[in-house]
Each structure stands twice: as structure tokens, then as C-alpha cells.
Chains A and B, each alone.
Chain A
Amino acid sequence: MSDLALEMTVNGRRVKRTVPPHQRLIDVLRDDLNLTGTKEGCGAGECGTCSVFVDGKLVKSCLMPAAKANGARIETIEGLAAPGDLTPVQKAFHKTGASQCGYCIPGMVMAATAALRANPEADLEEIKERMGGNICRCTGYTKIIEAVELARDVIAGRISADAFAEDAAVGSFIGSNVRRLDAPSKVAGRLRYAGDMVMPGMLHMQVLRSPHAHARIVSIDTSAAEVLEGVACVITAADVPGKDGFGVFVHDQPVMARGKVRYVGEAVAAVAAEDVLTARRALAQIRVVYEELPALFDAGEARKPGAPVLHDYAPDNVVKHIPIRKGDVDRGFAEADIIIEQTYQTQQVEHAYLEPEAGLAYVDHDDVVTVISPSQNITHHRHMLAKIIDRPINKVRFIMSPVGGGFGGKEDMIYQGMLALAAMKSGRPVRLVFTREESIIVTAKRHPADITYRMGLKKDGRITAISFSLLSDGGAYGLSTEGVMRKSAILSLGPYDIPNLTIDTVGVYTNNTPSGAFRTFGAMQSQFATECHLDIAAERLGLDAFEIRRINMMRDGASTHTQQVLGSVSIGRVLDVAEQASRWEHGPVGMRGPQRSDLGGDDTRAPCTLGARFRDGVGKTRQEVA
């Protein structure tokens, strides 16, 4: 192997390094130069978090072999402003609240900087177009684009730089535009996420994952991997000293597969080595013999007699069933003038936070097993890990690193246990950084749902009864399923006053990727059905869609389906504002004719067209027309 001798100018300083020939520019910047403001969100050129300037041109450093940067002038997020200072673009991001989790932000700042360098007068459409190579999952882009426009106007001198200062809070902070305390560290690329952290003597972990959805593990032979030069340790379920099992509710998931695997991507063994490449090579040396078992891929099949059983404790494959009963549904349906039945389906959704899972574990001088990770639930993780590694709680410590987007997806302790075991076994700090693919394959998804809906209504739109049944694929492990089913049941029928109802939400085990927490925690699935159903009912009864909701909405003092008495209820005001903001054309569906007056106009998005930057010509001579 012939190493590369690189000479570059990085942020104005000359740099010389010798690196392996396969390294990418991002590897040199992050690993060799410790410039971790350049993030790796996907490693495949999709997300833009790794954007840097090379000879003045913005590129994605995960797609650039390091050799291409030899002799080049590199500018990273750290080099945009002097230490302690911020550029106008960075100040604008701070001001508008453009940084939330912050993980995409260095790349966004770089793309914004490139956009304004290319055209200091870029308009809104051109800014959007020039930033099209960067993905954000928190903001919805609005605040980011707003920041770029603000920076543009300040740089052009149209607006005073005072616009970057914090707005004075008048009376109350509520309703005031308050700048985030942590934004400067994010817009400058200074904030270190778990994957950016290093410790002296740190090892790198890679994980061997199951290729099977359901299989018995006959044997695991790690001997060839253990003796590889550079490998510090190999761990499997056999290394767990205490009572194995974690989960947000039921502790049904082992740190690594124990006896059998239940989904594709489940951890089977892990290697800690001097570098990632050695760890990956060691994984290829581990021999696992599987005996495939019949697998379950459909929630409906899970409850049928004779279905494969995933967990011995749940022979019916049910993780959780939440029933709610109120009033007399038989009487309610008997009183109805019309009964509407419908089924609804929602799908699995990946959170796709820009920061892939990462963690760093070590055993400190006082034998405290310490795990640093963007865990959304560190106290619970700490308690679970103490039992798993059989140590008293005061010998287990969790440190929450900045979360580069979670949305519920980082509540599960799916890799922290492995890190702790490897740190204990090797006696050295161990870091694991998921690839984007690994993050998608392994981590929990939004619960998919099959919903059967039955609603009885009077001709005037009043709901007399609802029977609601939701079946959800919880995947291979319980994770948050119990809570999601509970929330889904409680919020299923929305802010509507229903006299008679039956609600059943059931989460079951299958051999699919586990389902877990995801924004709304189960409410989205059931309310999607409820709101669709109300629209269908309005159409059948010839009512306006807002009207049918007003007829049935809860009012101040209403009692919820779970008998909570509400002091004040705001749904009426929400409906009024939504109706006005959408310029809603009042009336039942189908009476509006072919032309609707409420489509288009202000605040609606025109269809996507590209080419904003050369709308006024590409510098070509236009054809002369007589």
C-alpha cells in the first residue's frame, strides 16, 4: 500500500500529512486535523453536512478522495471567521433561530456562504436552489432561508448589522424573538457531537449484524477475529455479566442477540480495534452459524393461531393492548342516521436525523462505566445498564452529548450497552459511529398502523358513536410500543366530544425492524384516520368540513374519552384561524365547481422550477427576432 503525501492549505495554514490512499477529504479533515465542524451525515453525497471549499469551490468532502485535495486551498467552517468571531451569515443563522439540533448547520452555513459569494444579490428562489444540496430535518428550512436573506441584506448594506442583535424582550419572553444560547457554537462548527469526540487510546467499534429476520444462533466463532493485529476485543451476548435486557417499557431486547436473532440488522457481535478498517476486517472473520426460523412480517398474521412466536413471554405476540370504553356504542349506532365504515393504513417512517447514532464509552479511574451518547433518555439508560453490567448505580454514568436530531429515534439504548461492554473488556475508551445505512437498517421506525373505523352520525353531523380499532406492527422488540399504543388510544378520536365509543389499540411483535417513538408518539396515525373520516362524513352529509368539526368539537369543561375534565379547550379558535388563513371556501365538498377560489395566491407554494440563477439569461446572445 502506498500512502499519500498531502500538502494543503487549510484555513490559511499550510498542512502536511501522510494518509492511506483510500482516505476521503472528510477523513483527513476530521480524523487527522481534528476539524470536526465538517460533519458526516450520510457519507454518500446526499446531505451536504460535509461541505467545504476546495480552491474556492464548494464540494462534498465525503465524495472527494483526499488525493484530489493535494496542493489545494481548503476552507472549512472553522476557517470562515477568526476564533471567537462570526461571519454575517453565521450571525444571521444565530439571529433567526436557523440552528436547532445544529448538525446540518455547518454545511448549511457553508452552502449559504457559497450562494452569497456566487451571487451577493441572490433572491429567495436562487438561494433555495443553491442550497438544494443540503438537508435539514428540524427547521423545515424556513428559518435557514430567512437567515440567508438577512445576511445578504446586511452584507449589501441595505440593513444595519444591528439586525443581528437580539430583539429586546418586551414584558415577557413568551412571544419574543429570543436567540438560542447554543447557536454560536453550532453555526461556528465548534459544538462537538459524540462522533466528534476523541480520547487518548480510543478504540473504534464496528458491529456484526444479522442477515436473517428470524434465526436461531447455533454458534458464534470469534477466534479468528480476536487474534487479528489491532483488534482489542470482540464482544457477544456471552460478555454480559448481569441481567440482560432493555426497552423503554418491557425489557425484552438483549444488548446483542442472545440465542436468536429477531430482525435483519440486529447486533450479533462487535469488535473494538485500533481503527475502523481493522474492526471491519475483523468482522469479516467472525463465523456465525444460523438456523433459520419461520418469520413473521405482517401484523395481522402475528395474532393468528400457529403464528411463529418471537418472545417466549408473549405467546400471542401481543406487546400491548389498550382498550378504552365509554357510553353505550350499540345504542349510539342504533340512534345514528348514517354509519360510515373505512380502513386506513399508515407506513413505517425513518426519523433520518442528520446525526447518525454515535457514542463513546470508557471506564474512569474510579471504575465508573461512563457512556457519552446523544441518548434522549439517559437516566433510564443508566438504570438499565447498571443491571445489565451488574454494577451499582453509582458506578454507571451516562453523559448526554448534543443530540443531532432525535425526534424520538434516540430513546432506545440500542448501542450504548455494547460500548460499555467493550470499554470494560478492553480497558480503553471505545467509540462507535453508525453509518447512515446502519442507522436506517437498525434503529426504530414510526409505528405503521392498520385502522378500522366505524362512525355513526345524525343527519345534522352529530357523532353518536365510534368504534376504533388500530393494529400496529411493533417489530422485533417492544421499545416504546406500549406507550405509543397508549397515546394512540387516548388521542385517537381527536378533540371531539363523542358520547359512545370503543377504542382498541394493539401493538404486536413481528420480525420487521422494531417500531419506536417518533414525533406525536402514536397520535398521528390515529388522528390521520379520524380527520380523514370526518371529511368523508362531511361529504356524505353535505356539510362543510369545518362545520362538521365545530358541531362535534369539545368545549370548555368537556370531559375527554379518558374522563379528564378540560378547563379550557382551544379547538374552536384553532378552526377559526385555520379557516381564515387557508382562505377556505365555505361549503360542502362537491359544490365548488371546477374552479376553487381558495387555491393559489399568497402563502401557497408554486410548483418547482429550476434555473432561478439564469432566469435573466446565461450570458448568451439571444436570437434576434425581426
Chain B
Amino acid sequence: MLTTDAYHMPATLDEALTLLATAPAGSRLVAGATDLLPWAREGRAGDVHLPALIDVTRIDEMSGVSIANGRVRFGANTVYQAFMTEPALARALPVMPHCAIWFADDQIREQATLAGNVVNASPAADGTPPLVAMNAVIECARRDATGTIVRRAVPIAEFLLGPGRTMLADGEIVTAITCDDMTGYGGAFEKVGQRRSLVIAVVNAAALVRTDRTGTRFEDVRLAIGGIGPVPLRLAEAEAMLRGQPVSAELIARASRFADDRIASRSRREYRRTVTRGFIAAVLENALADCGVPLPAARHTETADV
């Protein structure tokens, strides 16, 4: 059971930073609260008392979407469901609807934020592989010693340090995330866990693909996998190998091996390696189909080395 002495809902970033600076030690920021409440239960943290909770979801500055100069910027309060239901977001970030549909369930997606998912820094987070693939930058704000609001922008690959660890400093708040504008790409996401809904990923994978006008050559490819080590992995070598090449099942099969020696999980490595191969091939094929150029013969065979 979670208890607290005060639940604050600041309306501005300024107010939130002041509350955060003056709140008693042990106080916490809250966004969707969908991880916080289940955490304070028996078997996990048990009964927890936090001096104060500072809820950022009513800060206007942390909401909204803008698209300019090849980048998409969405506020930290953007909930998962919005990536499916808001056409502007779905169009500019075509991998995100596919990612969001695998995240928790419809109810939780209405509350849980992508920024919160990033800050929790779970190695199995669903939101981080797509963000890594889209060159996401995390925008943060804090107050310095003179009281001035200081902002910085940290690429996600630097922001995520390991399980539960990020670059976020004490008193600092994630305000927004920016990504490459991926309009015109096809997106795909795969995830496996113990069941379909409400499950933590054992492995997940995200891809974005753009082909040339004939639909026969990879013009750009973005590929990232999660659940296979402390932080998600961008498969830059596989992307480079695919870029500019004619689309073929053989090429995709070759790309699927690029993560073989990079599975760094503590458990079930062989399983994860096998799944990862299948997922890389699947997300590439599905991303091609998503941008309207499916492979001529869809691959529906099981590999013998499973």
C-alpha cells in the first residue's frame, strides 16, 4: 500500500521544480502512476510511505506535439494511447502504433506515458527500442543554484545507463522527447513475453524502413532490439549493410544474424538469440509491408535451428 503526506499537481514547470526542490527527501515525481502503485505492494516494495508525490500530468508545457525541421517533439505527458489515436503522431512516428499496441492494455495506455517508460529505464521497456531507432533526444529541465531553470537535451543512448538508471539528475524533470520525423517509413514492432496483454517483454524489436520509389531497394533502415541486455541495442551494422541494397529474403536473413553475438542478458541467452533472429527478419518484413511493399513471397516457414 502506498501512502503519502501530500499529493501535488502543479500547473507549471516552474511550480513543479520548486516543489521538487523543497519536498522532503524521498518524495517522488509521478506521471501515469501505473508503475508506482503496483510497486508499493506485497512481494515488491511492500507498504511504502513517500513524503510527497509531485504529479506532472497537469503541466501544460509538458503536453502537445509539434513537427518541424525533420524532428517530432512531443511533451513528456504524452500517453501511449496517443501514438495510436492521434493521426499526426501516428503518421510521423509510424513504428509507434505497432509498439503501443503491445504495451500493457488499452486502459493503462490512457495513463502511462512514454517518457515515464524511459525514465524507469527497464531493460525490457517497450518504448525504448523505437526511440533508439528514431534518434530520440530526451529534454530535461532543472533549477540551478541561482534558481534559473536550466535545460539540456540528451540523446537517448546516453540517457539510459542501465537497469533503472538514467542520466537524470536530482531535481531534474523530463519535459519532452524529440525524434526524427519518420513520415513515409513503414514501421513494425515485435514482442514476446509469457502472454499477450500486460506482460513484460523477454525480447522486443522495432524497425523502420523506407524504400526507393520502385519499392525494391532499401533506402533507409532503422533497427533496434530490447530485452537482450541492460539497455536497448541499435543494430547500426545491420542497418548499414541493408541501406542501398535491393530488398530480398536472403538479405533479410543475413541481417537477422547481426545480433547473434550481442545478446548480453543474464538468463535465457540461447532462447533470446533464436527469438532475436526471427524478430529482426519479422520486423523488417512487416515494416516493408507497412510501407506498402511486402516481400513477394511472405516467409511463413519455421527455421530448423530453433
**Distance A21 CA – B30 CA, assembled complex (angstroms):** 13
**Distance A280 CA – B105 CA, assembled complex (angstroms):** 31
**Distance A327 CA – B230 CA, assembled complex (angstroms):** 63
Residue from the list B53, B94, B104, B196 in contact with A65, Cβ < 8 A: B53
CB-CB < 8 A to B55: which residues of A?
65, 67-68
Q: Which of A572-626 contact B (CB under 8 A)?
A: 608, 610-611, 613-614, 618-626
Selecting from B18-26, B40-48, B159-167, B252-260, the interface stretch reads B40-48
Query: Given A277-B1, A437-B43, do A618 and B90 touch, yes or no (CB 8 Å)?
Result: yes
Distance from A161 Cβ to chain B, minimum over Cβ atoms (Å): 27
Instruction: State whether the Cβ of B266 lies closer than 8 Å to any Cβ in chain A.
Output: no
Query: Given A63-B38, A68-B57, A625-B215, do A45 and B30 touch, yes or no (CB 8 Å)?
Result: no
Contact: B7 with A133, CB < 8 Å?
no
Report the nearest A residue to B91, measured CB to CB: A620
Instruction: State whether the Cβ of A4 lies closer than 8 Å to any Cβ in chain B.
Output: yes
Contact: B3 with A22, CB < 8 Å?
yes
**Distance A277 CA – B33 CA, assembled complex (angstroms):** 20
Contact: A133 with B42, CB < 8 Å?
no
Contact: A63 with B108, CB < 8 Å?
yes
CB-CB < 8 A to A67: which residues of B?
7, 9, 55
Contact with A along B1-20 (1 / 0, CB 8 A): 11111110100000000000
Contact with A along B91-108 (1 / 0, CB 8 A): 100100110011011111
Distance from A473 Cβ to chain B, minimum over Cβ atoms (Å): 22
Instruction: State whether the Cβ of B197 lies closer than 8 Å to any Cβ in chain A.
Output: yes
Instruction: State whether the Cβ of A58 lies closer than 8 Å to any Cβ in chain B.
Output: yes
Query: Given A68-B55, A623-B210, A626-B213, do A60 and B7 touch, yes or no (CB 8 Å)?
Result: no
Instruction: State whether the Cβ of A24 lies closer than 8 Å to any Cβ in chain B.
Output: yes
Query: Given A22-B2, A22-B7, do A611 and B42 touch, yes or no (CB 8 Å)?
Result: no
Contact: A45 with B34, CB < 8 Å?
yes
Distance from B184 Cβ to chain A, minimum over Cβ atoms (Å): 5
Instruction: State whether the Cβ of B87 lies closer than 8 Å to any Cβ in chain A.
Output: yes
CB-CB < 8 A to B210: which residues of A?
623
Residue from the list A48, A435, A623 in contact with B107, Cβ < 8 A: A48
**Distance A62 CA – B33 CA, assembled complex (angstroms):** 10
Contact: B30 with A130, CB < 8 Å?
no
Instruction: State whether the Cβ of A44 lies closer than 8 Å to any Cβ in chain B.
Output: yes
CB-CB < 8 A to B84: which residues of A?
613-614, 618
Residue from the list B94, B107, B293 in contact with A59, Cβ < 8 A: B107
Query: Given A133-B106, A610-B101, do A625 and B37 touch, yes or no (CB 8 Å)?
Result: no
Residue from the list B7, B42, B91 in contact with A21, Cβ < 8 A: B7
Interface bin, chain A: 35 or more
CB-CB < 8 A to B42: which residues of A?
435, 437-438, 441
**Distance A438 CA – B46 CA, assembled complex (angstroms):** 12
**Distance A614 CA – B189 CA, assembled complex (angstroms):** 14
**Distance A62 CA – B210 CA, assembled complex (angstroms):** 42
CB-CB < 8 A to B107: which residues of A?
45, 48, 51, 58-60, 111, 133
CB-CB < 8 A to A625: which residues of B?
211, 213-215, 292-293
CB-CB < 8 A to B2: which residues of A?
22
Instruction: State whether the Cβ of A129 lies closer than 8 Å to any Cβ in chain B.
Output: yes
Contact: B105 with A2, CB < 8 Å?
no
CB-CB < 8 A to A14: which residues of B?
none
Instruction: State whether the Cβ of A286 lies closer than 8 Å to any Cβ in chain B.
Output: no
Query: Given A133-B108, A623-B291, do A435 and B41 touch, yes or no (CB 8 Å)?
Result: yes
CB-CB < 8 A to B214: which residues of A?
625-626
Contact: B90 with A619, CB < 8 Å?
yes
Instruction: State whether the Cβ of A459 lies closer than 8 Å to any Cβ in chain B.
Output: no
**Distance A134 CA – B196 CA, assembled complex (angstroms):** 12
Instruction: State whether the Cβ of A46 lies closer than 8 Å to any Cβ in chain B.
Output: yes
Residue from the list A2, A111, A280, A623 in contact with B293, Cβ < 8 A: A623
Report the nearest A residue to B87, measured CB to CB: A619
Contact: A21 with B110, CB < 8 Å?
no
Report the nearest B residue to A2, measured CB to CB: B6
Distance from B188 Cβ to chain A, minimum over Cβ atoms (Å): 10
Report the nearest A residue to B50, measured CB to CB: A22
Contact: B198 with A46, CB < 8 Å?
yes
Q: Which of A35-69 contact B (CB under 8 A)?
A: 43-46, 48, 51, 57-60, 62-65, 67-68
Query: Given A132-B196, A133-B107, A623-B210, do A44 and B38 touch, yes or no (CB 8 Å)?
Result: yes
CB-CB < 8 A to B293: which residues of A?
623, 625
Instruction: State whether the Cβ of B186 lies closer than 8 Å to any Cβ in chain A.
Output: yes
Contact: B97 with A611, CB < 8 Å?
yes
CB-CB < 8 A to A502: which residues of B?
none
Report the nearest B residue to A435, measured CB to CB: B42
**Distance A133 CA – B80 CA, assembled complex (angstroms):** 15
Contact: B9 with A70, CB < 8 Å?
yes
Instruction: State whether the Cβ of B111 lies closer than 8 Å to any Cβ in chain A.
Output: yes
CB-CB < 8 A to B1: which residues of A?
22, 276-277, 280
Report the nearest A residue to B58, measured CB to CB: A68
**Distance A22 CA – B107 CA, assembled complex (angstroms):** 21
Contact: A618 with B101, CB < 8 Å?
no
Query: Given A22-B7, A132-B105, do A63 and B198 touch, yes or no (CB 8 Å)?
Result: no
Q: Which of B160-204 contact A (CB under 8 A)?
A: 183-186, 196-198
Query: Given A4-B7, A22-B7, A435-B42, do A133 and B292 touch, yes or no (CB 8 Å)?
Result: no
Contact: B7 with A59, CB < 8 Å?
no
CB-CB < 8 A to A20: which residues of B?
3
Instruction: State whether the Cβ of A168 lies closer than 8 Å to any Cβ in chain B.
Output: no
Contact: B198 with A1, CB < 8 Å?
no
Report the nearest A residue to B33, measured CB to CB: A65
Instruction: State whether the Cβ of A231 lies closer than 8 Å to any Cβ in chain B.
Output: no
Contact: B111 with A59, CB < 8 Å?
yes
Contact with B along A1-34 (1 / 0, CB 8 A): 1101000000000000000111010000000000
Contact with A along B261-298 (1 / 0, CB 8 A): 00000000000000000000000000000011100000
Contact: A130 with B53, CB < 8 Å?
no
Distance from B116 Cβ to chain A, minimum over Cβ atoms (Å): 12
Instruction: State whether the Cβ of A114 lies closer than 8 Å to any Cβ in chain B.
Output: yes
Contact: B106 with A623, CB < 8 Å?
no
Contact with B along A250-292 (1 / 0, CB 8 A): 0000000000000000000000000011001000000000000
**Distance A20 CA – B57 CA, assembled complex (angstroms):** 20
CB-CB < 8 A to B37: which residues of A?
24, 43-45, 62-63, 65
CB-CB < 8 A to A622: which residues of B?
291-292
Contact: B47 with A280, CB < 8 Å?
yes
Contact: B196 with A608, CB < 8 Å?
yes
Distance from B168 Cβ to chain A, minimum over Cβ atoms (Å): 22
**Distance A139 CA – B3 CA, assembled complex (angstroms):** 36
CB-CB < 8 A to A608: which residues of B?
196
Contact: B106 with A130, CB < 8 Å?
yes
Contact: A63 with B106, CB < 8 Å?
no
**Distance A619 CA – B210 CA, assembled complex (angstroms):** 18
CB-CB < 8 A to B183: which residues of A?
620-621
**Distance A532 CA – B279 CA, assembled complex (angstroms):** 34
Report the nearest B residue to A44, measured CB to CB: B38
Contact: A623 with B292, CB < 8 Å?
yes
**Distance A614 CA – B104 CA, assembled complex (angstroms):** 17
Contact: B196 with A610, CB < 8 Å?
yes
Contact: B4 with A60, CB < 8 Å?
no
30 intermolecular pairs with C-beta atoms under 8 Å apart: A1-B5, A2-B6, A21-B7, A22-B1, A22-B2, A22-B4, A24-B37, A44-B41, A45-B38, A45-B108, A58-B110, A59-B107, A59-B111, A60-B34, A60-B107, A60-B108, A63-B34, A63-B38, A65-B53, A67-B9, A114-B106, A133-B108, A277-B1, A614-B84, A618-B94, A619-B87, A619-B91, A623-B291, A625-B292, A625-B293
Q: 9 closest pairs, A vs B, by CB?
A: A133-B105, A132-B197, A44-B38, A21-B7, A437-B42, A619-B87, A625-B215, A618-B90, A620-B91
5 further A-B contacts with Cβ under 8 Å, apart from A57-B110, A130-B106, A626-B215, are: A45-B104, A63-B37, A437-B43, A623-B186, A623-B215
